[in-house]
Amino acid sequence: MRTSTAQRLPVSPVPQPEIVRELRAFQWNGRATKRGLTSVGLAKTKPIVVQTFVNEFWTSKQRAAHSLHEVSYRACFKPQLPRFFIDRFTAPGDVVYDPFMGRGTTIIEAALAGRVPAGCDINPLSPMLAQPRLSPPTPEEVEARLAALDLSRAVSYPRELEAFYHPDTLREICALREHLMARQQNGSIDAIDRWIRMVAINRLTGHSPGFFSVYTLPPNQAASIDSQSRINARRRQTPPRRDVRQLIAAKTRSLLSDCDSATRATLLRSVQRATLMTGPARSTPQLRSNSVSLVVTSPPFLDVVNYAADNWLRGWFGGIDTAAVEISMYRKVADWQASMTDVFREIARVLRPGGHVAFEVGEVRNGKIKLEEAVLPCGVAAGLDPLLIVINAQQFTKTANCWGVKNNSKGTNTNRIVVFRKQ
């Protein structure tokens, strides 16, 4: 595949949809949108050429995200990203789908906007994080349930986790885990239990007293036991006592701080038709053909993130055998493209005519590979029309090289979104 990026061409070759006019006219802090063309040459067919727009199209400064989003997850995107496309490509009641759901940023933003959420992820951890926030209990309900729990005894006690936790804290964590797993197994688990499990998963490890653990990596990654022991030795730290109930209650109040009665009413209407799936994105028979108005998603970027390693402790708490989850990881772009093409075929099936896909990728391998260029042939092979590429550049300055990589760490300081349309 031969590619060339971002030639600055003044004239657009296709009629201008509304979004193109809007992106061209967009200004952020007085800065005009940069425009160009991305062209991917294919050996046997005509090159794929799409208009490409660069600016700071969304930022936390423009609109604060809803408090319900504030759970950490490796390689999640900001809620402003799905909102940008939801606002432009859908109406209330439309189905918005994320085949690589992660913590559920797209589906929660969709539900908050009165759209019908649909999501899929191969890791059972994903619905554990996403689903409870679609039907949140009240802080009072959570606190009453926590108060009724006996966390003083646990059957199992994995001593090696004392690298992270004070023994009394670890006993409480184990007792809570066993209680939730028993409720899951006997079918009595309810929305309050699921909420408590989601919050507990998010409090397992982190670098402040708001987490159950001693100081460790940020909460979206878990250190191995060996590396945590090294962190402890280097920092001369031993895990302090933390109150599991109190930390869950505090995080619950913070997550629910924007959940007024209007939000709850909107969520309730939206989630009645929600579809959440655990499995590979290439096969989603639960979703009807031609039923989805918009897909907003972000797949694994080759092998940049090791979701299994980062989530081992969360998986343990949730009773998930993380090693058995077949998370897509590819070293070679061609293998990644083959896998993404399968996913695009399934997306093309479920998308309604006129529906859109916003497929977010990042730069990888220090900018040598631009995955947006790799994505274009995948969508086209699935029969979708490439519409445009939106590059959201954070810290967009006059000197920043927005087409390439600067200050880049693991390809994530720009969001590069390829937008397709189904005819």
Ligand X SMILES: C[S@@+](CC[C@H](N)C(=O)[O-])C[C@H]1O[C@@H](n2cnc3c(N)ncnc32)[C@H](O)[C@@H]1O
Q: Total residues contacting ligand X (rule CB under 6 A)?
A: 22
CA distance 275 to 280: 15
The residue type found at 191 is A
Q: Which is nearer to ligand X, 228 or 298 (CB)?
A: 298
CA distance 359 to 379: 10
Q: Which of the residues 160 through 179 are near ligand X (CB under 6 A)?
A: none
Q: Which is nearer to ligand X, 250 or 327 (CB)?
A: 327
| Per-position x/- string for 256-295, each x denoting binding to ligand X as judged by CB under 6 A, each - no binding | ------------------------xx--------------
CA distances from 276 to 7, 100, 340 (A): 41, 11, 20
Q: Which is nearer to ligand X, 119 or 136 (CB)?
A: 119
Token pair for residue 28?
């952020």
CA distance 380 to 46: 12
CB-based closest residue to ligand X: 102
Nearest approach in angstroms of CB 246 to ligand X is: 27
Token pair for residue 123?
């890791």
**Interaction of residue 100 with ligand X, rule CB under 6 A:** yes
Token pair for residue 184?
């899951």
Beta carbons within 8 Å of 383's beta carbon, 6+ residues apart: 345, 348, 422
| DSSP-derived pairing of the beta strands 116-121 and 414-421 | unpaired
Q: Which of the residues 77 through 96 are near ligand X (CB under 6 A)?
A: 77
Q: Are 34 and 7 in contact (CB under 8 A)?
A: no
Helix (H, G, I), strand (E, B) or coil at 281: coil
Q: Which is nearer to ligand X, 73 or 212 (CB)?
A: 73
| Per-position x/- string for 33-72, each x denoting binding to ligand X as judged by CB under 6 A, each - no binding | ----------------------------------------
Q: Which of the residues 295 through 354 are near ligand X (CB under 6 A)?
A: 298-300, 307, 327-328
| Per-position x/- string for 119-138, each x denoting binding to ligand X as judged by CB under 6 A, each - no binding | -xxxx--x------------
Q: Are 85 and 109 in contact (CB under 8 A)?
A: no
Q: Which residues bind ligand X (CB under 6 A)?
A: 73, 75-77, 99-100, 102-103, 105, 120-123, 126, 280-281, 298-300, 307, 327-328
